[in-house]
Amino acid sequence: MHKFPWWQALWLSFFSRTLYQSVARRWQGIGSLYLLIVSALVVLPITMQIREGYTSFIEEELPLYLDDLPELTIENGQASTPEERPYIINDKGTTEPFIVVDTTGQYTDLDQTSAAVLITADRISIRKNDVSTQSYSFSELGDMTIDRSMIETFLATTGKFILPFAYVVLIAVSWFWRFTQAMAYAFIAVWLAKKQGVTMRYNSFVRVCAVALTPAMLLDMVIGILNLPLPFAGVLFIVLEVMYVRFAIQSISQLPPEQSNKDDQGSIIA
């Protein structure tokens, strides 16, 4: 039987019965490494979108807010501004406050304003949602001056680390979800295989299901890139995945009896 390298599964998984037969008999492992590689591929466009959004915010939106943001001097856990008055920075294009900087004591709590961020003399408070806020005390910081130059430098530096970190996190989340799916679909595959008279180890079923997830993963990526609306996408993708698991088991059941009852030794990807 022909050995298919893992990269050919990216397109052959859509239609090739021979591929699924090879995955069942010639590949080894449970498909975890294969899913890791495919996950790294499909989340790459999302990471690029995050990068573009981050760059756009830094270059286009952030300067509009920094123009109105006063210099903030923190000494001994207390903040001060050049003028003893509240600074209200509206969300651009609206009259709604977005950031309030007030070291005079006129504003002491986010409940007093609809702004998302409130900077007072001793802390910064951020509105997480309509009922929850998070506060950070300046006493935890050393003496510093926060101005436009410092903020731009900080964001430019952290941006070099945030995007690779985001990519790794997205890969991990995608891999965990897809591998969990593969293990769950393997039980469906076992049931389908019994009806077809096919006997394999559970690990082999997980491996086959990992490859059967490929069409749904790639289609999901393409839909995301094109930003196409897809009603009931979650349900439709589950149906598609189960259909490919069924297609894979039907393909394996067509192997000759002497091949369909044992796993061949060989290795492509684990």
Q: What is the pLDDT of residue 119?
A: 92
Measure the CA–CA gap between 30 and 263, rounded to whole angstroms: 13
pLDDT band at residue 208 using 50, 70 and 90 as cut-offs: very high
Give per-residue pLDDT as tens, 171-185. Answer: 999 999 999 999 999
| Residue 173, SS3 per DSSP | helix
pLDDT band at residue 12 using 50, 70 and 90 as cut-offs: very high
* Closest by Cα among 246, 235, 237, 196 to 217: 237
Q: What is the pLDDT of residue 215?
A: 97
The string over 111-147, giving b where at least 16 C-beta atoms fall within 10 Å of a residue's C-beta and e elsewhere, is eebebbbbbbbebbbebeeeeebeeeebeeeeeeebe
Give per-residue pLDDT as tens, 27-43. Answer: 999 999 999 999 999 99
**Higher-scoring residue by pLDDT: 59, 194:** 194
Give per-residue pLDDT as tens, 229-238. Answer: 888 999 999 9
> Is residue 162 a contact partner of residue 170, using CB atoms and an 8 Å limit?
no
* Closest by Cα among 43, 28, 6, 59 to 207: 28
Which residue is associated with the tokens 């891999």? Answer: 175
Measure the CA–CA gap between 14 and 32, rounded to whole angstroms: 19
20 pLDDT more than 80:
yes
Give per-residue pLDDT as tens, 60-103. Answer: 888 877 878 889 999 988 999 999 899 998 887 788 888 999 99
* Closest by Cα among 212, 239, 213, 234 to 223: 234
DSSP string, 214-237: HHHHHHHHHHHHHT---TTHHHHH
> Is residue 34 a contact partner of residue 54, using CB atoms and an 8 Å limit?
no
